[in-house]
Structure 1
C-alpha cells in the first residue's frame, strides 16, 4: 500500500496540472460566450440569431466539459482518500470512511446491474492501518462483483458493520454463484483461483487474509454454490501488544 500511495500521488500530480489548465480554458470559453451573446444585442437580427445559436452550442459544450472536469477531480480526490495520502501508517480511525471511499471508487464496476446496500451500525474507532484496510475492502468488494458477473442476473452486495465487545465486525455478502465446499478451505491460499490462469492471480483473498492477520483479527467465509457468499472480518479495537 505504500507503493500505491506513491503511485496515486504521482498520478494525482500528473493529472491535476493539465486538468487545471483545462478547467481554466473551459471557464474562459464560458466567459467569451457570455460576452459574445451580449455583443449580439442591437445587431442585425439575422446575424444575431446565427451567433446566438453558436453561443448556445458553446455554452452547452462548456457546461459538459466543466462537469467532466469536476468528475475527474472527484475521482482523483477519491483515489487520494483511498490511499490515505499524508496520513500516519497506523492511527485511530472509523472504518466506515474507508468503506465509503472504496465504494465510490468501485461505482464503475457496479454499474447499474449491481445494487449495493450498506447497513452501518455504530462503531468505535479502531487502531489500524487505514491504507491496508481500504485494500482489504477493495479486494472483497471486487471479489463479490466478479462472483456476481460469473453468475449472471441482477446482483446485490450488502455491506454490514457492527460492534461486539472490543471488536468491529464487517460483513460483505453477495448473491453471486457461491463457492464450492471443497474450495472453502483453500480460498485464502496464495495462488489459489478458480478463475483461470488468464483471469485471476489468486492473490486477492490471500492479501485479505494477510492484512487481517497483521491486525490480529480474523476473516471467515460462509457460502453455498448458487447461494452467494459472505465474508466476515473481525478486527480488535486495538491489537494486543506483542508479548
Structure 2
C-alpha cells in the first residue's frame, strides 16, 4: 500500500513540474490522488472501529504497528467521514472529467448540462452526508415531522439513489472514454500510451466500485433521548483475499499509469521543441511490381543486344535505331520505377501545413501549364506529421494525373482547384480537376500497382499506387470522387496535430 501511495505522489510531483498543459494526464493523476485519500480515510476509519479490532490486521497488507498507530491518532471520526466523502466523490468527479478531456476540442456542448448536474450532485451529497447535518436533521424532524421508520426509509431511498447515480457516472465515464478513442483520431505513435492511460483508469474505477461502491453513506446513528451518536461500521466484503491482494493490484496499475504518463510527457516535450520525428518503412509498391520491373528490364536488354548484333545487310538502320532508342527509353523508365519500388524510409516531422503548401506550390506551379490553377489555403490550418519530400511527391503524382486527364478537353475548360482546410480533427487537402473523369469500373482499381486505363506506352500505373502508400504511411486517408465528363477530386485527410490533447 505504501508503494502505491509513493508511486502516486511521484506521478503528481512530476506533472506539477511539467510546463506543458497535459490535461488528461493531470486529471488522471488528480483522480489517483483522490483515490489515495479515499483509501487512507477508510483505513483510518477502520482502525478506529472496534468491530474490526481483532481482524483489521488482515486488511490492506499493512503492518500491525501501522494499524496500532492509526488506532490512537488524535482525529475525530467526523473529520474522517468528511475526508472519505470528499475524496470518494472527487474520484468520481475527476474521473469523469478525465474521460472527456481527450475530446474536449471536438465534443459538442450537449454534455455541458450533465457536467453541471454532476457538480450539483457532488455538492448535494457532500452536504447531505455530513455528520453534523445528519444529527440536526434527526433532532429537529423526529418525532415532530417523521417517525423513525419514515426517516430510515428516506435515508435508504436517498442512499440508493446516490449509489445508482455515482456508479452510473463511473460506467458512463468508461463508455465516454471508449467513445473518445473512436471519435478522436489519435496517431499510432501516441495511441498505445493513451490507451494505456485509459486501461489504467478502467482498472482503477473497477476496483473503486468493488471497494467504495457504498460511499458516501450514512455512518452515524443518533439517539435523541440519550443525546448520543453511534458511529456505524463500514460494510466490507467477507472475502478478505480481495483486500489482501488489493494493494498489489493498485501498485501494478499505478506503475503502468506512471509509464504511460511519462512517455506521453516525453513525446509532448519533443514535439514542442520540434525535435520529434518518426521513421517508418514504406513499400512503394508490392513484390509483384518489383519482379515485373526486374523481368522486363532483362528482356529489354536482351532485345537491345540482339538488335545491335545484327549484321549490316540485315539491318534497316533507321528502323533499328528507333527500336533501340525506344528500348533505352523503356529501360530508363523501368529502372526509375524499380528503384522507386524498393523499400524506403519516410521521416515524419510536425510541419506547418499552411506554410508547407505555400512553399510546395511554388515548386510545382511551374510544371502546371495550359490550365487554370485555383488555390485556397485556409488560414486556421495548423500542423500535421508528414515527410515533406515524400508528401510533395504524392502531390506531384496527383497533379500529373490531373493534367493527363485534361489533355483531350479545350484549354479554356481546363482547371485544377487545390484547397487546404481544417475539418473536425483532420486537415483535408483536396485536388480537383475538370478532366474526362474516371468510370466506375476503373475507379476501384486506380490505386492498384500497374493498373492504368491509359495506353501502357505512356502510363504504367505506378504513380497513384505510390501516392496511396505514402498517404497510408502518414496515417492519413485518401479518397477519390469522379464523374465521367465532369472531373475527378482527390481528398487527402491527415490527423490535425492542433486538435490533439496529450
TM-score under structure 2 length normalisation: 0.29
Is the alpha carbon distance of 1:235 and 1:205 closer, same or farther for their aligned partners in structure 2, counting shifts above 3 Å? same
d(CA) in 1 for partners of 2:355 and 2:407? 26
Task: Quote the residue 2:460 is aligned against.
Answer: 201
Is the alpha carbon distance of 1:216 and 1:182 closer, same or farther for their aligned partners in structure 2, counting shifts above 3 Å? same
Q: Deviations over 1:141-178 (max 9, x none)?
A: 11111111233432110001111232100000000111
Task: Quote the residue 2:249 is aligned against.
Answer: none
- Tell me if structure 2 keeps the 8 A contact 1:123–1:162: yes
Task: Quote the residue 1:188 is aligned against.
Answer: 447
Q: Deviations over 1:97-126 (max 9, x none)?
A: 443344333334322x21111111121111
d(CA) in 2 for partners of 1:130 and 1:218? 17
- Tell me if structure 2 keeps the 8 A contact 1:158–1:173: yes
Task: Quote the residue 2:194 is aligned against.
Answer: none
- Tell me if structure 2 keeps the 8 A contact 1:159–1:171: yes
Q: CA shift at 1:188, angstroms? A: 0.5
d(CA) in 2 for partners of 1:145 and 1:102? 17
Does 2:352 align with 1:94? yes
User: Which structure carries more helix by proportion?
Assistant: 2
Does 2:374 align with 1:117? yes
Alignment equivalent of 1:177, drawn from 436, 441, 464: 436
- Tell me if structure 1 keeps the 8 A contact 2:371–2:411: no
- Tell me if structure 1 keeps the 8 A contact 2:377–2:421: yes
Aligned residues: 150
User: Which structure carries more strand by proportion?
Assistant: 1
| Secondary structure in 1 matching 2:394 | helix
Q: How does 1:13-28 map to 2 (within 5 A)?
A: none
Mean CA deviation greater in 146-155 or 175-184: 146-155
Q: Deviations over 1:202-227 (max 9, x none)?
A: 01111111011111111111111100
d(CA) in 2 for partners of 1:203 and 1:151? 24
d(CA) in 1 for partners of 2:389 and 2:494? 15
- Tell me if structure 2 keeps the 8 A contact 1:178–1:229: yes
Provide runs of 4+ in structure 1 moved above 6 Å: none
Q: CA shift at 1:96, angstroms? A: 3.2
Task: Quote the residue 1:142 is aligned against.
Answer: 400
| Secondary structure in 2 matching 1:138 | helix
Structure 1 unaligned residues grouped into runs of 5+: 1-87, 239-243
Q: How does 1:61-80 map to 2 (within 5 A)?
A: none
Structure 2 unaligned residues grouped into runs of 5+: 1-345, 498-502
d(CA) in 2 for partners of 1:197 and 1:137? 22
d(CA) in 1 for partners of 2:367 and 2:408? 14
Larger Rg: 2
- Tell me if structure 2 keeps the 8 A contact 1:98–1:134: no
Q: CA shift at 1:139, angstroms? A: 0.9
